[in-house]
C-alpha cells in the first residue's frame, strides 16, 4: 500500500550544481502537483502535471526550473544551477482526478540544502 | 485569485480538551473545496479533513470536525479530546472545483498540546 514516494529525502548541493527531485504518485493516480515550502511558510504551488503533459506551471520560476512526468517512471522536478534561495522543502502530491474535491496525498518531501 | 488566512499565533491546549484553529478564505468562485493538513515535526503532510462549498453539513472525521460558515468565509478546524500527538503545524488550504485543483495554502498554525 505505497503512498506517494519521493526521493531523495534530503539533498545537499553546492551553488551552481543541478538538483533532481523524484516523485512516484500513488498507484492509479495520474495527476501530480509540486509544491515548495520555505522555512516558516505554507506550501506554494509550483506545477501541475498529468502523464506526459504540463497542465499548469504558473507557480514555477521561469528560469532554471523544469518538471516532467513521463509516460513511464516518476515525475521529476529539476533545478539547474541552484542558488542558496532554492533551499526549501519540495513536496509532491498526487490525486486520482483533477476535480477540486479530490484529495491530494502528499509525499514525505525532499529537503534541499544549497551550500 | 484565492487566499487563505491563518492569523492565530501559536496555540496551546491542555490534553483531552478541545481546540479550534481558525481559517478564513477569499475567493470569488462559488465551487471550491477546503482542506486541512497536519504537518508534524517529522515534516510530512497528512490530510485531515475536506469540506465542499456545496456541502450542507459540516465535515467530520473522527476527532476532527470542520466548522464551515460560508457567509463568513470561514472553515475552522475543531479538534476534540486533544492528544499529545496532535502537536504539529496545521495548514488550511483550498482548491477550486474544475480542471486544475491546485491547492492554495495558508501560513499555518502551530499547536502545542500540554500534558
Q: What is the mean pLDDT of residues A58-75?
A: 94
Name the residue facing A56 among B97, B102, B105 (closest C-beta).
B102
* Best CA proximity match to B35, nearest among A63, A88, A33: A33
Q: Is B107 on the interface with A (CB under 8 A)?
A: yes
* Cell numbers placing A44: 506554494
pLDDT at A41: 82
Is B47 within 8 Å of A104 when comparing Cβ atoms? yes
Share of chain A above pLDDT 70, in %: 96
| pLDDT confidence bin for A99, thresholds 50/70/90 | low
3-state helix, strand, coil in chain A (%, to 5): 5, 50, 50
Report the distance separating Cα B46 and Cα A109, nearest Å.
12
Q: Do B102 and A45 touch (CB under 8 A)?
A: yes
Contact flag B43-A35 (C-beta cutoff 8 Å): no
- How far, in Å, CA of A7 to CA of B33, rounded? 29
Q: What residues of chain A lie within 8 A of the CB of B8, using their CB? A: none
Note the pLDDT of residue A52: 87
Transcribe A20-49 into DSSP letters. EEEEEPPTT--EEEEEEE-TTS-EEEEEEE
Residue B76, all three cell numbers: 475552522
CB contact under 8 A, A101 and B91: no
Of the partner residues A43, A99, A105, the one whose CB lies closest to the CB of residue B47: A105
Amino acid at each position: 500500500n505505497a503512498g506517494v514516494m519521493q526521493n531523495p529525502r534530503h539533498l545537499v548541493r553546492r551553488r551552481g550544481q543541478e538538483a533532481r527531485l523524484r516523485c512516484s504518485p500513488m498507484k492509479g493516480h495520474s495527476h501530480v502537483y509540486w509544491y515548495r515550502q520555505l522555512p516558516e511558510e505554507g506550501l506554494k504551488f509550483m506545477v501541475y502535471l498529468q502523464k506526459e503533459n504540463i497542465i499548469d506551471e504558473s507557480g514555477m520560476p521561469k528560469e532554471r526550473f523544469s518538471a516532467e512526468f513521463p509516460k513511464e517512471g516518476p515525475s521529476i522536478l529539476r533545478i539547474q544551477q541552484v542558488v542558496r534561495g532554492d533551499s526549501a522543502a519540495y513536496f509532491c502530491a498526487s490525486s486520482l482526478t483533477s476535480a477540486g474535491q479530490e484529495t491530494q496525498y502528499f509525499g514525505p518531501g525532499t529537503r534541499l540544502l544549497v551550500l | 485569485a484565492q487566499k487563505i488566512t491563518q492569523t492565530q499565533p501559536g496555540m496551546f491546549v491542555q490534553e483531552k480538551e478541545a481546540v479550534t484553529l481558525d481559517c478564513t478564505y477569499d475567493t470569488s468562485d462559488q465551487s471550491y473545496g477546503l482542506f486541512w493538513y497536519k504537518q508534524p515535526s517529522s515534516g510530512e503532510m497528512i490530510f485531515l479533513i475536506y469540506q465542499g462549498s456545496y456541502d450542507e453539513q459540516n465535515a467530520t472525521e473522527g476527532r476532527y470536525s470542520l466548522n464551515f460558515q460560508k457567509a463568513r468565509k470561514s472553515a475552522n478546524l475543531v479538534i476534540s479530546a486533544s492528544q499529545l500527538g496532535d502537536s504539529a503545524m496545521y495548514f488550511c488550504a483550498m482548491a477550486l472545483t474544475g480542471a486544475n485543483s491546485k491547492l492554495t495554502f495558508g501560513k499555518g498554525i502551530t499547536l502545542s498540546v500540554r500534558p
